[in-house]
Amino acid sequence: MMTAICFAEINPPQAGGVFPEIELLKSSNPVDLTYLGLSGSGIFKIQQVKADVVIIEIFSMYCPYCQGEAPNINNLYSLIENNPALKNKIKIIGIGINNSLFETDIFKNKYKIAFPLVPDEDFKLHKIIGEVRTPYFIVVKLKGGKTEVIYSKLGALGDNKAFLEKIIKSAGLK
Amino acid sequence: MKIKSILAIFISCIFAQSAYALSEAYKNNIYNPGQLKPVDSVLKVKVGQEAPYFILKAVRGGMISLKDYYGKKNVVISFVPAAWTPVCSDQWPGYNIVKDIFDSNDAVLLGITVDNIPTLYSWTNQMGKLWFDVLSDFWPHGAVAEKLGVLRSDGVSERALFIIDKKSIIRYIDVHNINQRPPLEILVRELEKLKIR
């Protein structure tokens, strides 16, 4: 019985599956809200982001690999924002595991990150998404209020252009 | 009775799983000791008193003494329990990106564990290039931790922070729950208090 219960762990969302209905804290920065097509304060769900695809980076301010990967993700953000065909279709959100707002803000300022970073101070979101190591990337396709995971992987993204081509193809973006 | 037993096992399993966001930087090389007694020592110093003298070997070579900073810098000492363990591995890399905060408060950071130099060298290499010194309190084993009252009964140190001002006076102590990382904002707030003294 003990084994059965102890091994009833939650696995990370896998490609082809749905993304769990996590509640994220809205940023108080109007630029972040505009970027995601949101307004007001409180919480939001991934399904409410005004986009076709959301790239979610699970990171921590304290994670050396996340620190090393930050410039690459900034480059990915620029590639998307500078492409009129992708700009309003693909958005990026970072979730800072066991990071307070103070800590995600430090990470944002240190690496001049333009996309929103959401704190997950008490591991609440981390537990729901399978207690993954960092950095971990999940790409979610949004359609009609439903979600479909099209990418779920631990570690650096590698070549940004190849990654973008892959998710454009998987999401059926034109 | 059976339901109570199942519930107890379920709860113990939940709490046995230490939630931490371990960086991929360490691959599968981290040993997870599970949940530990939050604090397992009795402090021997207090805020307002002079910090005890110490001199320890640094990973970069040479010896570092608290006296080196007397009259020059405030000193933050970060004791972490052990190399290659979950929370510790995700603490100093965060400090590594906030050198500007330490600089603006005229402070240096000294990281200390009771591990030996070769172990600390291998472990801290995974964190990237650290701007602060890492010291070994390995031999006599845990002597500095013992002097401060943060050596646990199993021979590792507590997860503890000390702020010592330029006159060697202890201004802040946080013997933190060993299972959790101390919030950075509290350390920063305490450092900033030194400016108004």
pLDDT digits (tens, 9 = 90+) for A97-131: 999 999 999 999 999 999 999 999 999 999 999 99
Q: Taking the domains of chain B in order of start, what are their residue ranges?
A: 2-196
Domain B2-196 = CATH 3.40.190.10:
no
Tens digit of pLDDT for each residue in A135-146? 999 999 999 889
Q: What is the pTM of this model?
A: 0.88
In chain A, which residues touch B (CB < 8 A)? 1-2, 5-6, 9, 58, 60-68, 97-98, 100, 102-103, 106-107, 110, 123, 126-127, 131, 133-135, 154-155
Give, in degrees to the nearest 5, the angle at Cα A104 between A80 and A114.
25
Nearest by CB to B93, from A58, A64, A154: name it. Answer: A64
Backbone angles phi, psi at A129, to 5 degrees: -95, 20
pLDDT at A6 over 50: no
In this prediction, residue B5 carries a pLDDT of 43
| Domain A12-171 homologous superfamily, CATH | Glutaredoxin (3.40.30.10)
Which tokens is A120 given? Answer: 């997950």
The H-assigned helical ranges of chain A are 2-6, 30-36, 64-81, 101-110, 124-128, 160-171
Cα(first)–Cα(last) distance of chain A, in Å?
A: 50
Residue A133 CA: distances (Å) to CA of B8, B90, B97, B180: 28, 11, 20, 17
Distance CA B93, CA B99 (A): 11
Q: Taking the domains of chain A in order of start, what are their residue ranges?
A: 12-171
Q: Which residue out of B75, B88, B114, B187 is catalytically annotated?
A: B88
Contact, B179 vs B87, CB < 8 A?
yes
In this prediction, residue B33 carries a pLDDT of 83
H or E segment and range at residue B24: none
Q: Is the ipTM of this complex over 0.90?
A: no
The answer to whether the CB atoms of B94 and A68 lie below 8 A apart is no
